[in-house]
Amino acid sequence: MIYSMTGYGKSVATFQDKKICVEVRSLNGKAMDLSTRIAPQFKNREMEIRTLITNVLERGKVDFSLWVEQGDKADMPSINGAVMQNYIEQMNEAAKVTGIALPQNMFEVLLRMPEVIARKEVYEATDDEWSVVLACVKEALDELMAFRKQEGEALACRFRSNIANIGGLLASVEPYEKERVEKIRARITDSLEKLAGVEYDSNRLEQELIYYIEKLDVNEEKQRLANHLNYFVETMEGPKGQGKKLGFIAQEMGREINTLGSKSNHAEMQNIVVKMKDELEQIKEQVLNVM
């Protein structure tokens, strides 16, 4: 069974007052090209996350995001009352000693003093929270792989149609192939008969005709192409991760079709070859998206 490299997965979980969100998407690529955006509290787990993604997805251009949404007040800065009270006491003492009056906008002054406004620091995630996050990552990856499988089934149906079309076109070559041989023989014989006063050895002519026609024989190309078509279908039905192999088989199919075209020397056969190439190009275009 083949899998597409295109996919999308998302998972959401809750831990205490936090909402954990994981999103992963992938496109086709020759190898694993992974880009991650991970919440600061889980940065120390980045290598573990990358290893998990690589083992599951194997290939493709992958974008991974992990973020945490907290309550409305969770990330809001707060006033440090103890620090503010200490500043007030110091300012009152300084006013008594120096005789300088306290400012009228004292509260505004206090808010500008160092460390009066305290911001939330990045907390260190606990093992329990990491367990929830890990399960969330795996769920998102499972959803993406299900998406890849569904897309792969659609690709497989398209490939089978293309392969069947090429096989049908290959079978239609045979009657034109026999007709082509007779036409070549008749054309050469007619040309010789038009040469008045020229004598030729009919046995030697027959030998040369046989040699010439053998050079145009396409039976080997037809057989090899038929084998490649069967092998392509067999490979599709094998284990996942056969995208590169299918690409190589498609290249070999192209070689045989090209040779068939160069040897055809017949208008109808060349038309058939053009149709084969059209089907093969569709395969080559889509096989780039197979994992």
Q: What is the pLDDT of residues 102-120, one digit of tens each?
A: 888 888 888 778 877 765 5
Is the domain of 91 the same as that of 166? no
- The pLDDT confidence band at residue 153, using thresholds 50, 70 and 90, is very high
Is the domain of 176 the same as that of 114? no
> Could you give the number of structural domains in the chain?
2
Higher pLDDT, 264 or 199: 264
Quick one: 60 exposed, middle or buried, by C-beta within 10 A (0-12, 13-18, 19+)?
buried
In this prediction, what percent of the chain has a pLDDT beyond 90? 49
Least confident of 56-70, 94-108, 147-161: 94-108
Quick one: 96 exposed, middle or buried, by C-beta within 10 A (0-12, 13-18, 19+)?
exposed
Sign of CA dihedral 55, 56, 61, 63: negative
- In the predicted model, is pLDDT for residue 18 greater than 80? yes
Average pLDDT value for the chain:
86
Full-prediction pTM beyond 0.85? no
- Token pair belonging to 123: 């907390």
Span 214-233, average pLDDT: 88
Residue 245 falls inside a structural domain = yes
Q: How far apart are the first and last CA of the chain?
A: 10
- Token pair belonging to 152: 């792969």
Higher pLDDT, 185 or 21: 21
Higher pLDDT, 72 or 30: 30
Is the domain of 184 the same as that of 262? yes
| Domain end among 118, 140, 169 | 118
* Structure confidence at residue 234 (pLDDT): 93
Antiparallel, parallel or unpaired: β 78-79 and 117-118:
antiparallel
Is the domain of 105 the same as that of 227? no
68 bridge partner residues: 20
Is the domain of 217 the same as that of 282? yes
- The domain containing residue 102 runs over which residues? 78-118
Residue 194 falls inside a structural domain = yes
Name which of 25, 29, 24 is nearest 290 in CA terms: 29
Residue 133 falls inside a structural domain = no
